[in-house]
A and B are shown apart, each in its own frame.
Chain A
Amino acid sequence: MTLNLSIAMTHLLARKRQTAVSLSGIVLGVAFFLAVASLMRGSELDFIERLIDTSPHITVSDEYRSADLQPVRMRFPKAAVELRSVKPQTEVRGIRGWQQKMDFIDSLADLQVAPVLTGSVVLTFAGRNQGATLSGIVPERMKEVSTIEDDIMAGSLDELAANPNGIAIGQALAERFDLEMGDNLNVSTPDGTVRAMKIVGIFRTGNANYDESQTFTLLKRAQLLLNRPNRVNRLIIQLENPYRAREVASLIEQRIGYKALSWLEANEDIMAVLTVRNTIMYSVVAAILVVASFGIYNTISTIVMEKTRDIAIMKSMGFHARDIRRIFVIEGLVLGLIGIVFGIVLGLGLMWILGQVEIKVPEMADSERLPLYYGLDQFILAAVFALLSSVGASYFPARKGARVQPVDILRGAA
């Protein structure tokens, strides 16, 4: 053991109660830091995971990022004469050449893509009406890009694929209309087409509005019903790594021209709220450690005060000011390191207890446990912050100790 470390340890061991009090501050600080951060990060990641699972990672829609220039503006870009009442060019809705565009997206690595044609319809059964969204899908592709297959409670997407006149509806709608599998439902489109379709699937996502107003049929059937032959208005993309969504969306948009919206962009406000929430959370838990470090400051200050004469005698022996500074900083470091080790153990204990808490959501059949995050990064963050606080708290009294002039003390003691 080096000389400075052995002196530091002697100081700490000579004041066991005071050392234990400062240590407990750091232990509790680190433990609460870990428990709170684990809970907050866990809930954040759980939320993002649900967001990623329930919404497409990228949606290519039949829109452009900025509106196209009208022909008259293209023809006379710097017109001196103002033209009024020019009839704008009407865009036919839908993604043009969607199959070629989908082939291009398919050629990109680590993603799945599915075409969708969505339109508004009115569902009629036993004289009751309900406005709904009809999505025409390709079942084998849709399975790859959404969790709808997992949400199906009766029937399946395969049955939808096998039945060109089939429709999958939400459980809320089925309950409202008292519908069951195999029942027929009238689907009316805005242009007046009415078709009776057979219920081949009932799903439940947990989102009441979605379950009441969303329906699925085959893409070909939707194109016929909505009178949009050979058109789709959305390409839904699911990535192996959802966090590449922004970069991949940008690449797709540059290449095919249509607006490609990543889930990150679509939920920018929510992500911003999460960032703010994290900043607040880390500020609060860091404040706990800063408060805890005052315990160390107090202990080291007291030792420095009590040891002024020893400092003077050590300096008269030939110890440098930096040796004295190091001795007291080592004391803070030792308290910090021991505090971190015990703090992590206690923190893991608190996290385990939190992990046992079960929450029962009234609408959900199963109870849920609190989502916790066990990532190494938060342990490193807690340790680094605790260490910085400990060293910072010991540095100032250490500096004061190093400035002691032996003559001032010896003269006073004589």
Chain B
Amino acid sequence: MWLIDSSIGRKVVMSVTGAALILFLTFHMAMNCVALISGEAYNVICEFLGANWYALVGTAGLAVLMVLHFVFAFWLTIQNRKARGNVRYAVSERPKSVEWASQNMLVLGIIVFVGLLVHFANFWSKMQLQEIIHGTNFVAGQNGPTDGAFLIQYTFSQWYYVVVYTVWLAALWFHLSHGFWSMFQTVGWSGSKWQRRWQVIGNIYVTLVILGFLSVVYFYFFKSLC
């Protein structure tokens, strides 16, 4: 199977799973922005998704994509470190045209993953998980498993979560700023003109997505201060 036993194939897996995850983030960000307008409307979306079969299928699909992205990332990194040889350069300088993020994708990915665990503890474990196991492990004041608006308000009224989420989203920005154009390059949909175009399009797109997420965090943080 060429997707597993060739270097380009393995990269294609990273590219395609990455693209799907970016699309998911876009959807998630659009959904979050509803909370800027109305908490009730946001809860309607939470109810619509909840633990319905399509939401569960979607979640399972995302989990598979994520696991593939992680497994291939570690696999590629191990191979790449081996290919680099045992002796490291004593002096090594990064050329100006090389983005910092591009050489630290695994580290950034790990930060994103750790942030994801925090995020799961904050939201997923109090929402979809409770609905699946018919549990009642809610935060005091949370009105049922689909009361996402309350959890947003609750989480981002605590300043340390604001800090954690900001760091998390910043790491995600760096990860995606390289990942976006890189996925087009990997599947070959790039060239001397399109490489630069994808880079610019990617920077704008990713910045908008991350700003969308951040706006909800800070909106509720400042709201809690007032």
Whether chain B is bound by chain A comes out as: no
Measured CB to CB, the residues of A under 8 A from B are none
